[in-house]
Structure 1
Amino acid sequence: MPVDEQHRMVGLREILDLVRRRLVLLISVVVLGTALAAAYAHYAPKSYRAISMVVLERTDTRPFASEPDLKSLERDRSAADTELDVLTSRIFLGRVVDKLDLINDPEFNTYLDPDTNANDKASGASGASGASGASGASGNFFSNIVAKVKSLFASDQGPLPPVSKQRDRAITKVFSKIAVARTGESLAVTVTVTHDDPDLAAAIANAIASLYVEASLEFKRDDRVADSARAVATGGAVAFLRERVTQPLLVTLRGEEAQLLRERAELAPSLGKNHPKMLNVEAELASVQRMIGTEIQRILLDLENEAAKPSARVVSLAEVPTAPYFPVPSLIIAGGFVGSSVLAALLMIMLEAADTRIRDSGQIRRILRTPNLASVPTVAAKDIKNNLNIPEYLMRRPQSPFAEAMRSIYVACRIPGTDRLHKVISFTSSLPGEGTTTCALGLALSAVADGQRTLLVDLDLHHCEVAKALKLEVNDLSLDRYLQGECSVSEVLHKVPNWHGLDVIAPSQRQKEPGILLNSSRFRELFQAVRPHYDIIIVDTPPILSVEDANWVSPLADAVILVVSWASTTEDVLAKAATRLRMTQAPLLGTVLNNVVTRAKRRKGTSNGIA
């Protein structure tokens, strides 16, 4: 027999069930998200990145600097970082603007009319090849749209502002398109320029590199002038170096010079100028001074040569990029796929959290505090297409899961502790289409198969499905005729062919106001008359939330079974139906979860065929 699903924690099986239920949503969101990402990758403006590199010299020597000054000029981290600031300074970028005449480019000087520049770029793109071919056309798609929109709202331009203000605007735009960086303690500085025109990106990167080298040489020359002025103020370059340069050789020679000068000073008072000792000291002193002068001249020449060299050199010029830096279609499409997958998962979780439809017996027990008697699986769609109604299906397939579920309902209808059945059992549901007639028929046929004298009463006077399912012709001998006093109880009892022991009372046609017929003494007399003659009486009633007909049966029933449709009845609707039953003090025996789609059948069409 089928076993009710137990309440359990979410596991792999539940996740797979969720994916199956929301598969259409999952596929739709992922396909749409990936398609949008692909469209963006194709039509987004293309950005090209050009990279040049300059290397800062480790020492920056000035011709008249002392040794402590030379040591302080060694490129430490702070000095290198300062050079990075120089590269991005507005004064330096102003040189770049002037060299490339960017003040006349509307993209940099936004005060100018952009139409002229757009037309120039369009004509240039039509004749370009490689990177600026088809990709450029698609890349300008969004740019053209933006330009069109701006032109709609743009007012007539007045006179242009001063040139200095236009130049400042161009400098600001250049600053927004460059990035200057170095790695760790390296003295190599990388200049990166990002622009939608690959040629212009390379031109700006190379201009920054070359202009920085020129500027470093200019700065050195300015420092040389300042140092020369200081040297003149202290007695000339040689005297300046003689006093301040402290290289080892010069220190030694100056020490020897000082010693000889002391010796000459000591000998002068006691010896004459022509004394051999005095002549010897004078010769040695002259030799040392010549050596000092020669060394100073050599140092001065070296420093002059060094000062003529720039403080940086270009090691790599930017080449014109052939492939856009952005967008990268593969990354964007992959990102769109992953992002849309995550979005689809979140939507599925949100919808699942908001979905209160009943899918397991645990939900029913939590709301009603009553047991679920059975979970009735759906009948294969091929059997419905073969015109197999419920009786024929149970007869041909007595071992099917559907038949087992019906026998479970039959067993659950026994009075606890006895072998007796509840005499009058009423089936109802919350809303139409949840399967009360199917369950009532199944229980009746299961009781007959067990040898019970069974009466099936169709009190759903709005649809009249029982007679149709059993292929009975009730004609004038119908329930509605009996309730109107036109025939007796024995006349409205109809035998069902091939099902010995099963009698049926059914209406002949739909009634406009069935409540008037059910709220009558003849209705109550009907159940009093048939009770002694049957082992079990099964009553099919309409939905309790749609009409009040089921309430007339509750006082006459020994047990009421509430049919719940799997993945259709919501928790709120079920709670309302339970409240309505409690208001009438209906003896609720339990529920039947109907139309359950088992995992093996979820990929196939299934239906129970009868409401």
Structure 2
Amino acid sequence: MNILDESAPKAEKGRYGAAAGRRPARSNAALRLSLTMFISGVRRHFWLLLVLVSLATGGAWLLLELIPPRYTAQATIVLIQAETRVNTSDLVLETEQLTHYQIETEIDFLESNAFLTTVASRLNLTQDPDFNIYLADGTAAGTPAELQLQAAAARLREIYSVSRRGDSLAIDITVHHADPGRAAEIADAMAEIYISGTLEAKRAEVQKSVDFLRQRIEALGTALTASEIRIADFIRQHQLDDLSRTAEMQDELRRLAARIALSGQGSEAAEMIARHDALKEALNLRTRAELTLLNLQRQFDAEVVRYQTFAERRNTLEAQIDILAPGARQITRAEVPAAPAFPNRNLILAAGVLGGVALAGGAAFLRELTDRRIWMSGHAEEATGLPNLAVLPDLETRGLKRPGALAAHLHEHPRSAYAEAGRGLLTLLSGGRPPGSAPVVAVTSALADEGKSTLALSLALVAAQEGEKVLLIDFDVYKHGVTRMSGQKALPQLPAEVWSKSSQVSRKVLRDGVVPGVDLLNFKHNAAIPRDLPAGTEAARSMAMLRSIYDLILLDTPPVLLTQDAVRVAGLADTVLLLARWGRTTEDALENAAGLLSMNRVPASGTVLAGVDPARYQRYGYGTYYGGYYAGYGNG
């Protein structure tokens, strides 16, 4: 069905007077951001993407140049599972298994200030300006050595870390430094100092026990000497050195007892009884002294046993000091790193590139969202709800707005892409109409300088090339675009006067005013267009008469959004072409223009996208409909 077929069913009017058949305008955000537009979006914003990605990559490279490199060296030690310690109760060496808490304690020790101070002292880090801030700022001479050592230990804490590999006994000592050799040296030194420290701690513990035993042995030796002297004095005091004396005294008591039994009751007997009693008392005293001596001897023997026990333990510990093993061993020595661990050049450069891509993508995204200009036919269709009928190449860059230039160009290039696009549009506009009833087509735009006059003149010229008789009416009384491009001047006549009598209309027309076969009708500059021009009886008769004379009638109207003249003039037409300038007309302007036409019941057929750059239109993915024509456009 032809778009001007009057037998087509009329569309019902919807809200605000718009035709229900017109699709409501809606946002084109989904269209612009669809995945199918990704490649074309990259092409459209190629230079923006390239600049932002280059800037981000350059920034990452500059950052790499400014950040001092840090090298990482790592030494690994393994704790010995069986730990040898001195039993404080028995003062003997015993072996026990390491517990989880002991391992965590060793890690805490490696991170302790005491250990770091020891390392700083062993490595003489107070003489390194990188560790001694007082040496770096020249105040070391007036700063106590202890403060300098603490400063070196604090700096050392910043560049190293200790970590355990899961539940294993392996502990990693990692050092970061600007000097790769220094990093490896410090890592190995920390491992060696820790390992030697565990051995020293064991030896110190054993030596402490040895010293204690030595002291006890010396004390016991002194006590034994005193006991020996006391026993000797006791023996001399009680005359216990004669071992046979007790037996002699017992024999003598038996002899006295026998004589006393034989002597009777005389004085001699009394004397023997007295001697017997005295000897018996002396024997009792000697027996008690011997028992005391026996106790003293037993005490002495016990002290001798204690002395020998301590001496044996001391000898055992002294013998084992030299065979003690450290509590850890180093399984991996720190290697001098060949490349810095920070900054990671590849990672930062990749992050710069990805950041640039993200930034560029965001910028392109915002640009797409904020760019409301019409770049493709789909944009015009989404904005107006009308079909886009044609895409026309740009002609302004060829200087074809000069008087007669457009007509000469189409005469020289009758098969150019532009001419073919116009010919296809004419087919849509005029096909299927009965003879003697020329279609009346109004050409308008939302705003000025969008190419509507060029389009109207082009359609007239293309129709004339096909042998049709065309009337071109210039209703743009403000700029007279068609008149100027035709090389004519505006006549001093008013629209109201011209349309007041149908018999006068044909006499106001400039015959062949554009080219042979294309007549021109124009009006006085800034002439008023009556509000009821389309509804007048004479206007209807005039249009009927013109339809019978011409094969095509084209009306060049003012922009819709700048004046009401376009709406008034459009009432004379069968249909209206709403032109959008590629890359200039905004969706809002086009939507408002289509809405205004719809509210005034003006029968708009569709939009025309004009001024298209063929190469960019195809290369950037705006469309490929005229790709074949554009390839040879330069040759006509």
Determine if the alignment matches structure 1 residue 61 to structure 2 residue 100. Answer: no
* Partner SS for 2:610: strand
SS of match in other structure, 1:50: strand
Q: State which of 85, 109, 133 in structure 1 corresponds to 2:108.
A: 85
- Counterpart Cα distance in 2 of 1:388 and 1:327: 68
1:72 and 2:100 correspond: no
Change (3 A) 1:229 1:570: farther
* CA offset digits 1:362-402 (Å, max 9, x no partner): 44334433322223244596796999943334333333332
Match of 2:193 among 205, 211, 217: 211
Shift of 1:332: 2.7
Superposition pairs for residues 531-542 of structure 1, below 5 Å? 531-533=544-546, 534-542=550-558
Supply the AA of the counterpart residue of 1:85. D
Q: Distance in 2 between matches of 1:217 and 1:343?
A: 58
Match of 1:579 in 2: 595
Q: Pick one of 384, 407, 413 that aligns with 1:391.
A: 407
Deviation track 1:349-373 (CA, whole Å, cap 9, x = no partner) reads 3322333333344443344333222
Alpha-carbon distance change, 98 to 172 in structure 1, aligned in 2, over 3 angstroms: same
Q: CA deviation at 1:503?
A: 0.6
Please tell me whether the aligned partners of residues 554 and 584 of structure 1 are also in contact (alpha carbons under 8 angstroms). Answer: no
Residues 362 and 469 (structure 1 numbering): CA distance in 2 closer, same or farther, change over 3 Å?
same
Match of 2:572 among 541, 556, 564: 556
Please name the residue that 1:46 is paired with: 69
Larger radius of gyration: 2
1:22 Cα shift?
0.7
Deviations 1:438-493 (A, max 9, x none): 221222223334443311122333433323433x2x24xx234556989x856653
Aligned: 1:356 with 2:368: no
Q: Which residue of 1 aligns with 2:258?
A: none
1:410 is aligned to 426
Shift of 1:297: 11
Distance in 1, matches of 2:600 and 2:513, equals 37
Contact 1:63 1:300 in 2 (8 A): no
Q: For the residues of structure 2 that align with 1:58 and 1:579, how far apart are their CA atoms?
A: 87
CA change 1:8–1:334 in 2 (3 A) is: closer
Which consecutive unaligned segments of at least 5 residues does structure 2 have? 1-27, 219-311, 499-503, 621-629
How far apart, CA to CA, are the structure 2 residues paired with 1:297 and 1:230?
9
Say if 1:56 and 1:562 are closer, same or farther in 2 by CA, change over 3 A. same
Matches within 5 A, 1:161-172: 171-172=153-154
More displaced stretch, 590-599 vs 436-445: 590-599
CA contact (8 A) 2:214 2:314 kept: no
**CA separation of 1:457/1:206 partners in 2, compared to 1, >3 Å: closer, same or farther?**
same
1:271 counterpart residue number = none
Return the offset for 1:24: 1.3
Q: Which whole-Å deviations, capped at 9, do the CAs of 1:187-225 have from their partners, x for residues lacking one?
A: 443322113355654554344223212321232134435
Structure 1 residue matching 2:611: 3-state secondary structure: strand
- The residue that corresponds to 2:233 in the other structure is none
Q: CA RMSD in A?
A: 4.9
Cα distance change of structure 1 residues 62 and 393 upon mapping to structure 2, 3 Å threshold: same
**Structure 1 202/489 Cα, relative in aligned 2: closer, same or farther at 3 Å?**
same
Equivalents in 2 of 1:495, 1:162: separation in Å?
111
Cα distance change of structure 1 residues 208 and 453 upon mapping to structure 2, 3 Å threshold: same
Q: Is residue 442–residue 570 contact of structure 2 (8 Å, CA) maintained in 1? A: yes
| Mapped partners of 1:116, 1:573: distance in 2 | 73
Distance, in Å, in 2 between the alignment partners of 1:421 and 1:352 is: 46
The answer to whether structure 1 residue 592 and structure 2 residue 608 are counterparts is yes
Q: Classify the secondary structure of the residue corresponding to 2:464.
A: helix
Task: Output the amino acid matched with 1:573.
Answer: A
What does residue range 325-364 of structure 1 map to in structure 2 within 5 Å? 325-364=341-380
Residues 1:455 and 2:471 are matched in the alignment: yes
Pair 468,205 (structure 1): closer, same or farther in 2 beyond 3 Å: same
Whether contact under 8 Å (2:67, 2:343) holds in the other structure is: yes
CA deviation map 1:485-535 (0-9, x unaligned): 89x856653344894321123468xx5xx2x53349999878864651334
Aligned 1:495-514 pairs, distance under 5 A: 495-496=511-512, 499-506=515-522, 511=525, 514=526
> What one-letter code is carried by the residue in structure 2 that aligns with 1:56?
L
Distance of 2:541 and 2:591 partners within structure 1? 32
- Say if 1:444 and 1:538, in contact at 8 Å, map to a contact too: yes
The alpha carbon displacement at 1:562 in A equals 0.7
Asked if structure 2 preserves the Cα contact closer than 8 Å seen for 1:561 and 1:590, the reply is yes
Counterpart residue number, 2:483: 467
Letter in 2 for 1:92: F
Whether contact under 8 Å (1:177, 1:195) holds in the other structure is yes
Q: Residue 376 of structure 1: which of 392, 403, 421 is its match?
A: 392
In the other structure, the counterpart of 1:180 is 162
After superposition, what is the alpha-carbon deviation per residue over 1:564-589, rounded to whole angstroms, capped at 9, x for unaligned?
A: 12333222222221232234332222
**Which residue number corresponds to residue 247 of structure 2?**
none
Would you say the 8 A contact 1:425–1:539 is kept in 2? yes
Query: Letter of the aligned partner of 2:117 in structure 1?
Result: G
The residue identity in structure 2 corresponding to 1:518 is I
Distance 1:70 1:389 in 2: 112
- Go from structure 1 to structure 2 and tell me whether the alpha carbon gap of 1:391 and 1:566 turns closer, same or farther (over 3 Å shift): same
* Distance in 2 between residues matched to 1:374 and 1:26, nearest whole Å: 31
Give the superposition deviation at 1:49. Answer: 2.5
1:413 partner SS? helix
Tell me how far apart the structure 2 counterparts of residues 8 and 416 of structure 1 sit (CA, whole Å): 35
The match for 2:9 is: none
Structure 2 counterpart SS, 1:72: strand
- The runs of 5 or more residues in structure 1 that have no matched partner are 1-5, 121-159, 237-294
CA contact under 8 A between 1:415 and 1:421: conserved in structure 2? no
Question: Letter of the aligned partner of 2:114 in structure 1?
Answer: I
SS in 1 for 2:372: coil
Identity over aligned pairs, percent: 32
Counterpart CA distance in 1 for 2:495 and 2:169 is 105
CA apart distance, 1:228: 5.8
1:459 touches 1:542 (CA, 8 Å); kept in 2? yes
The residue that corresponds to 1:493 in the other structure is 509
Secondary structure of the corresponding residue to residue 352 of structure 1: helix
- Displacement, 1:94? 2.6
Q: TM-score, normalised by structure 1?
A: 0.66
Residues 445 and 63 (structure 1), Cα distance of their counterparts in 2 relative to 1, 3 Å cut? same
| Equivalent in 487, 491, 506 of residue 479 of structure 1 | 491
Tell me the SS of whatever aligns to 1:61.
strand
| Contact 1:426–1:559 (8 Å) recurs in 2 | yes
**What is the distance in 1 between the residues matched to 2:456 and 2:135?**
82
